[in-house]
Structure 1
């Protein structure tokens, strides 16, 4: 049995790293939450039926004034959000980059706990620890300190709490996080159902964040109550008998350094967002790319699953040409498809339908966090790819939209919307050029006359109001060169599988 008075180096180091990473995960998670500050238990997210709302903004399904989901976004302060002020793209970058290192830290910690024998101090092996923990809570409530378990560094309630945090709460955060990935949900629809759907997983994930926050507050208070110098001696220098003054000094400096690094990283992300996007993408992009390549959609929802309300993101085009076509039910609409292809074409809606037809009931996942289930009807994208016969060196398919974001979105952003996706996604199961939604012609607000569906990706890759399609071998010369309008303007990731 390890000496309970000694806290080995791996405990000291992983504890410090966990403090840093958990603060980063919490702040970046709050940035993600700010984009859709409402919590639901059921998929579909009908306005007004959220169980929690962290915003004064109110929008209804029957609102007379048109609204889009980005109108619900909040601009929270960088003190609490990472990096704050409507920076969802960078917030997600920080969150997904950090989770890699947090999980790696946890794996090292667990491995060392078992190889060193310290698991005896964390994992209860007798049911008697439960009544002992209840008795310890009662002792605390009498403003007294309960005794440690015989031969162990913790009392019973501490042991149960640490076990729950390490072996229950942390894994719960990981598995509920995975249940919000569009690629995971598309490939394994049953997985999301374990949590009642994506919104159930999202709500549990948020409650887990609150539980971690509560643990940190109570844990810090207990360290102070038990004696701050003693606590620093154990967790900083690794022994109860270590120099407590030195431990307090080192611990204080370490905490100050963590705060300072957070401040510097926040300032860096806000002043150099493009650099932050690229640097963080070094860690995040390969994982998302592999996820997008390996996972294909296997969704088979029923009509009974279709959501009663489907949010809209993005206002329709406002130029006179689009309005003229819409007034004429897009009778003279044609879709030009070209670029590095052997057979460029320009197709009417009727000619598109002749390529083949498919319907699918799938789960739409917006990057903001909401989702809805709908039936889409249209042309399997693979049919169009086969028709035009792309050159062997084609890497991406670019979808250009008719909406000028300078007119429909503003906020300092400009240019026509577009997105580029890897060519392999165009051949994935359920990749679709949609012309219908829920058995009717595609509504204007949802992308009429044509939008694209990639069911393993987030919604911003599914371009609406498509004007043209181009097959290319390089995306660096299109727009600002990041592979899409949201990537250009809001620093989103080019891969959108999580």
Structure 2
């Protein structure tokens, strides 16, 4: 029995130590591909994509502008064009002559128009892209709620309309309406002549202290008496002020039509403002800025520094349009809640 026991012990010893123990290999270390914060996304695409789009778009705009200038200069070489430009130099003498210069109310309403337009466009874009408003506002008389951004947008619209009404009233009372209201059919060929001169970069003769050129007159007329009322009417149609129960009126002027017109109207104001500012600086910055901000025809830096101050106030006002600051103001006119 002892031999048999010894053999069993030896066999068990051999089995235990000759077998290979399978030990699991350590899990492979996964290298993280995240080298920092998640990429900034705008409308489903990376920020770098939009930077490339803006860069390529800017380059394309420069090339297109250069081609337009070359084409315009080519048009002026046609046989009949020089005589036509001499006949229509870009402006005409208005029937009613306004006093030269710009009264103080023109400078102030011009500044408030610029200031309010920037804030209106900013708040309007916030209303358009917002997913969840930071707060809601409702009147004390009814429970209908709107976003705090829409309340701000509407309130700024009221101030803008008030400023515009003051401008229009003083425009006709003072006689300065003749600056921006065409009084002759000659405005059209002269406006086309001024446009050709702008496109060739051979600027029209500037008599802005006394009389706008015809293209300026037409554009200012369209801005004040066409697009501004259009923005107001379509804005009121989409607001809570519009009577919801007026079925016939709502059929004649549907909200979908107002919405389709209101946003392109805003784009027009943006485009007009950009071109306006570019031409102000390109055609004699110091004198033009003095016209608009200092009310003088002198060529000095007064108007420029007033322009810088206006920009600083506008930027500050835009930054201040936060719910933390807007909320305490809005609560004075209604109720502000988080939901």
CA, structure 1 residues 219+150, in 2 after alignment: closer, same or farther (shift >3 Å)? closer
Q: Which residue of 2 aligns with 1:118?
A: 176
In the alignment, structure 1 residue 208 sits paired with structure 2 residue 304: no
Partner of 1:392: none
Which residue in 2 is equivalent to 1:277? 330
Aligned match for 1:173, one of 225, 231, 251: 231
Q: For residue 188 of structure 1, what is the aligned residue in structure 2? A: 246
Instruction: Tell me, yes or no, if structure 1 residue 199 matches structure 2 residue 256.
Output: yes
Structure number, greater radius of gyration: 2
Q: Is the 8 A contact 1:232 1:244 kept in 2?
A: no
In the other structure, the counterpart of 1:254 is 310
Q: CA deviation at 1:193?
A: 3.7
TM-score by length of 1: 0.44
Partner of 1:128: 186
Offset at residue 102 of structure 1 (A): 0.7
Residue number in structure 1 paired with 2:115:
20
Distance 2:265 2:175 in 1: 28
CA RMSD of aligned residues (A): 2.5
| Larger CA deviation: 102-111 vs 139-148 | 139-148
Q: Which residue of 2 aligns with 1:238?
A: 295
Aligned to 1:142: 200
Query: What do the CA deviations read for 1:139-165 (whole angstroms, capped 9, x no partner)?
Result: 111111113579943111100000000
Give the counterpart of 1:31 among 108, 119, 126: 126
Shift of 1:489: 1.8
Structure 1 or 2: more strand by fraction? 1
In structure 2, the CA distance between the partners of 1:265 and 1:274, relative to structure 1 (3 Å rule), is closer
Counterparts of 1:240 and 1:278 in 2: how far apart (Å)?
Answer: 45
The Cα of 1:93 is off from its aligned counterpart by: 1.5
- 1:488 alignment partner in structure 2: 337
Alpha-carbon spacing, 1:260–1:144, altered in 2? closer, same or farther (3 Å): same
**Taking structure 2 as the reference length, what is the TM-score of the superposition?**
0.63
Cα distance in 1 between the residues matched to 2:207 and 2:186: 11
Once residues 296 and 210 of structure 2 are traced to their aligned partners in structure 1, the CA distance between those partners, rounded to angstroms, is 14
Superposed CA offset, 1:366-386 (max 9, x none): xxxxxxxxxxxxxxxxxxxxx
Please say if 1:159 is aligned against 2:212. no
Structure with a larger share of its residues in helix: 2
1:380 corresponding residue in structure 2: none
Alpha-carbon contact 1:237-1:247 (below 8 Å) kept? yes
Counterpart Cα distance in 2 of 1:183 and 1:18: 23
* Shift of residue 273, structure 1, vs aligned partner: 6.1
Q: How does 1:68-79 map to 2 (within 5 A)?
A: 73=131
- Could you tell me how far apart the structure 2 residues matched to 1:11 and 1:147 are? 23
Contact 1:24–1:94 under 8 Å retained in 2: no
- Deviations 1:8-39, CA, capped at 9 Å, x for gaps: 0010000011111111111111111114xxxx
**Match 1:104 to one of 136, 158, 162:** 162
Residue 2 of structure 1: aligned partner:
98
Any conservation in 1 of the 2:102–2:291 contact (CA below 8 Å)?
A: yes
> Does structure 2 retain, via aligned residues, the 8 Å contact 1:34–1:74?
no
Pairing of 1:446-457 with structure 2 (within 5 A): none
* 1:265 corresponds to: 321
Unaligned runs of 5+ in 2: 1-96, 135-145
Q: CA deviation at 1:185?
A: 4.4
Question: Does structure 1 conserve the Cα–Cα contact (< 8 Å) formed by 2:102 and 2:296?
Answer: yes
Structure 1 runs not aligned, ≥5 long: 36-72, 77-87, 286-481, 491-498
Q: How does 1:50-89 map to 2 (within 5 A)?
A: 73=131, 89=147
Distance (Å, rounded) in 2 between the aligned partners of 1:252 and 1:118: 27
Q: Distance in 2 between matches of 1:235 and 1:20?
A: 14
